[in-house]
Amino acid sequence: MFCKTLTASDTSTHGGFSVPRRAAEDCFPPLDYTQQRPSQELVAKDLHGFEWRFRHIYRGQPRRHLLTTGWSAFVNKKKLVSGDAVLFLRGEDGELRLGFRRAAQGKRGAKFSVLSGEQLNQSSLIDAVNAISKRSVFNICYNPRASSSEFIIPLHKFLKSLDLSFYVGMRFRTRFETEDAAERRYMGIITRISDLDPVRWPGSKWRCLVVCMCYIH
Amino acid sequence: MFCKTLTASDTSTHGGFSVPRRAAEDCFPPLDYTQQRPSQELVAKDLHGFEWRFRHIYRGQPRRHLLTTGWSAFVNKKKLVSGDAVLFLRGEDGELRLGFRRAAQGKRGAKFSVLSGEQLNQSSLIDAVNAISKRSVFNICYNPRASSSEFIIPLHKFLKSLDLSFYVGMRFRTRFETEDAAERRYMGIITRISDLDPVRWPGSKWRCLVVCMCYIH
DNA sequence: TTCCATTGTCGGCCTTTCCGACAAAAGGT
DNA sequence: ACCTTTTGTCGGAAAGGCCGACAATGGAA
């Protein structure tokens, strides 16, 4: 998995996407480095299951990894700008996935400091606990796309959700980001409620809701 | 419905697709001719249900209908070359559909003479019957995409198919053209057999097979 | 044959995209 | 502080693609 904040060059129409070396080597299928300009086609699915195709090439002096053909289509469709971040990740099935996160628009509070490419580990968790006990500052790597369902949400939203009891048959409305970043609203109904992960997180407040939804035109 | 054999200009990277005037006026939604360069976005589905978007513009001196943006993507994906034909058709629901037919590669026999844009009508059928009785020559407009399931096939294939009895549960293999014109093979099983159209064609040898298929990787 | 409507091809021009050069930035000793 | 590795930005070149000019084509008068 890797995450990169887009530079001006990455988002300009003038060129492609400069892939951090480690990222390319960890995440993408290996290239044939005996060739002068090794390249391959990458296919990555986004959250909606849509496939994006990129030409991945290793070239330049000094050599570096680049995504060329296909990249600008992605940037345009998602309306990405310098400062936004993209994220590539290899699923358990080996399939390549990608997502993006827009730069904080400087609106309200809750702005998280993002560390690139590192999983939450034991020691950083201990550091956080220590920081809390001392009431000092600590950083959080918040990356909802890196794992399936572990989120950080504002405390007031969490508390508010506890007041609400979800039940099968309950109706709701929600919205999703679409390919063109236009806001689309959906309505739906809850069809099943279960524990998120009874083994790893017994008694967790998190619920897993199976829903049936449809697009509101 | 209209069909056009692609010219060198239509398939070159230099420009777009020149739409025959009649075709555009019969088949596409009308443009606002009060504007200097009237244009609109066309959406057309191919056989696989995939949507293609084209900019349809009426411009130039003298004025003519053109497809610009989106056209080259279609040509590239389908790997169309000069001599191939494209076909637009308005479905019963008013929806625009498109398909293409590759130029005969000059391989085997059975090369049909194609008349553009005309439906088979009563009188031409009578002409054909007369021609057969006199053992003289007649032309056939063969266009499998213009109607759902009326095909012309070589006699020997038809006779061979009569020797074969289809049954529910029978396995088969077939292949489809994909977006990139690569050959993809499928295997499947027949799940239902019925008459093609018991009302219009009672006792027809044509069968309607409902199948369940999957892609062979 | 002549005229006219249609449409195929081209040059001009602008944008997009690909490439290595180079330098700035990051990281290690 | 110095050197090495990595990567951001740029100019140059090639390709893509939109435009009307003009000519070739074919049908009608």
Give residue-wise pLDDT tens across range A44-64: 988 777 889 999 999 999 999
Domain-embedded: residue B129? no
- Considering the domain architecture, whether residues A162 and A82 belong to the same structural domain is answered as no
Pairing of strands A85-90, A2-5: antiparallel
pLDDT at B139: 58
Query: Is the Cβ atom of A7 within 7 Å of strand D at any atom?
Result: yes
Query: Rounded CA gap, B98 and B147, in Å?
Result: 13
More confident residue, A47 or A137: A47
pLDDT at A155: 64
pTM above 0.80, yes or no: no
Sign of CA dihedral B49, B54, B56, B62: negative
From the CA of A136, how many Å to the C1' of D6? Answer: 34
From the CA of A81, how many Å to the C1' of C3? Answer: 57
Q: Which CATH number fits the domain that encloses residue A21? A: 2.40.330.10
> Of the candidates A64, A79, A101, which is a domain's last residue?
A101
Query: Is the Cβ atom of B29 within 7 Å of strand C at any atom?
Result: no
Instruction: Tell me the pLDDT tens digit for each residue of A82-133.
Output: 998 999 988 777 789 898 888 765 432 222 333 333 344 455 566 667 777 7
Instruction: Tell me the pLDDT tens digit for each residue of B190-206.
Output: 777 777 666 766 777 77
pLDDT at B209: 72
Domain-embedded: residue B128? no
Instruction: Tell me the pLDDT tens digit for each residue of A144-181.
Output: 333 323 345 656 667 777 777 778 778 877 665 444 44
From the CA of A73, how many Å to the C1' of D25? Answer: 40
> Of the candidates A60, A85, A101, which is a domain's last residue?
A101
Nearest residue to nucleotide C15, by CA–C1' distance, is A13
pLDDT band at B38 (very low <50, low <70, confident <90, very high): very high
Domain-embedded: residue A184? yes
Query: Rounded CA gap, A216 and A16, in Å?
Result: 36
Q: Which domain holds residue B26?
A: 2-101
Strand C nucleotides, any atom under 7 Å from protein beta carbons: they are 5-12, 15-23
Domain count for chain B: 2
Query: Is the Cβ atom of A62 within 7 Å of strand C at any atom?
Result: yes
- Considering the domain architecture, whether residues A91 and A166 belong to the same structural domain is answered as no
Least reliable range by pLDDT among B25-39, B126-140, B150-164: B150-164
Query: Is the Cβ atom of B13 within 7 Å of strand D at any atom?
Result: yes
Query: Rounded CA gap, B141 and B42, in Å?
Result: 27
More confident residue, B120 or B52: B52
Query: Is the Cβ atom of A154 within 7 Å of strand C at any atom?
Result: no
> Of the candidates A67, A101, A135, which is a domain's last residue?
A101
Domain-embedded: residue A143? no
Instruction: State the average pLDDT over residues A67-71.
Output: 96
- Considering the domain architecture, whether residues A12 and A92 belong to the same structural domain is answered as yes
Nucleotide minimizing C1' to CA distance for residue B14? D17
Domain-embedded: residue A97? yes
Domain-embedded: residue B65? yes
Domain-embedded: residue B200? yes
Domain-embedded: residue B142? no
- Considering the domain architecture, whether residues B6 and B97 belong to the same structural domain is answered as yes
Percentage of chain B modeled with pLDDT above 90? 32
pLDDT at B106: 39
- Is pLDDT above 90 for B164? no
- Is pLDDT above 90 for B25? yes
Mean pLDDT, chain B, whole residue set = 74
- Using CA atoms, how far residue A138 sits from A95, A125, A134, in Å, is 34, 10, 11
Strand D nucleotides, any atom under 7 Å from protein beta carbons: they are 6-12, 15-23
- Is pLDDT above 90 for B42? yes
> What is the three-class DSSP state of A10?
helix
More confident residue, B1 or B39: B39
Averaging pLDDT over each range in B33-37, B43-47, B92-96, which range is the top one?
B33-37
| Paired residues of A45 in beta bridges | A51, A97
From the CA of A8, how many Å to the C1' of D9? Answer: 9
What are the start-end ranges of the H helices in chain B?
8-11, 21-27, 71-78, 122-133, 155-163
Cβ pair A4, A116 in contact under 8 A: yes
- Is pLDDT above 80 for A208? no
